[in-house]
Chains A and B, each alone.
Chain A
Amino acid sequence: ETGVTQSPTHLIKTRGQQVTLRCSSQSGHNTVSWYQQALGQGPQFIFQYYREEENGRGNFPPRFSGLQFPNYSSELNVNALELDDSALYLCASSLDFGAGELFFGEGSRLTVL
């Protein structure tokens, strides 16, 4: 148990729709990062938030956006869904944005039809 929970665990959307994925971090963890993991691939870094501000972003378009809240929860929003957005989305929390360990949730599996 990492103390990081994600919801929903599975969801199906159609192309063009919008989706919001949620993550609840470990208490006291100021940093949350989000990843997209396509089938058979390693996790790809989407972005990272530290104390409610974006603190690093991977090579993802602006239709991927996020929020981090003071209660250690966060959201990943994806607008104008495309078929290639089908993937497992993982969030991870950490004490800070340094080089320390990442604690992962179990992921949200998104299917876009």
Chain B
Amino acid sequence: AQKITQTQPGMFVQEKEAVTLDCTYDTSDPSYGLFWYKQPSSGEMIFLIYQGSYDQQNATEGRYSLNFQKARKSANLVISASQLGDSAMYFCAMRGASGGSYIPTFGRGTSLIVHP
């Protein structure tokens, strides 16, 4: 079975500072994808960044980067230069093979609040 663990229920950061949101995962399958999504209070899930299990380089998308440490099974999200609009819930997710189909699994989320 696959599992995503986000141990930080809430995080606070000062505007323009960087923040790291933690994510660890567990799977026995060698082929999987890791994702981060942002969910504002309106409810929609906004895709931020993707890392494939065979990717050699850490993924980056603008101010977002994913610190992928495969041996430690961690996929932390780093947001640089935080903005007030970054305040939202952040979910780490994985799509790993389970019986031949890639089942998506989400963590419980981290609430990020950016202070001015």
Contacts and interface: CB of A to CB of B under 8 A. Distances in A.
Question: A and B from one assembly?
Answer: yes
Interface of A: 2, 33, 35, 41-45, 48, 50, 55-56, 58, 88, 90, 92, 97-107, 109
B60 to A, nearest CB: 15
B99 interface: yes
Contacts of B37: 104
Most buried by B among A42, A43, A90, A103: A42
Contact of B102 (A88, A99, A106): A99
B108 A102 contact: no
B103 A42 contact: no
A48 B108 CA distance: 20
Contact of B33 (A50, A88, A100): A100
List the 4 closest pairs (A to B, CB-CB), nearest first.
A99-B33, A104-B45, A42-B106, A56-B101
Q: How large, as a class, is the contact surface on chain B?
A: 20 to 34
A99 B101 contact: no
Nearest to B52: A99
Interface stretch (B11-19, B63-71, B72-80, B90-98): B90-98
Nearest to B54: A99
Interface of B: 4, 31-33, 35, 37, 42-47, 50, 52-53, 91, 93, 95-96, 98-99, 101-109
A111 B63 CA distance: 37
Nearest to B98: A56
Contacts of B98: 56
Contacts of A92: 45, 104
A67 to B, nearest CB: 17
Given A43-B91, A99-B52, A109 B43 contact: yes
Contacts of B50: 100-101
B94 to A, nearest CB: 9
Nearest to B31: A99
B108 A99 contact: no
Contacts of B104: 33, 35, 45, 48, 92, 102
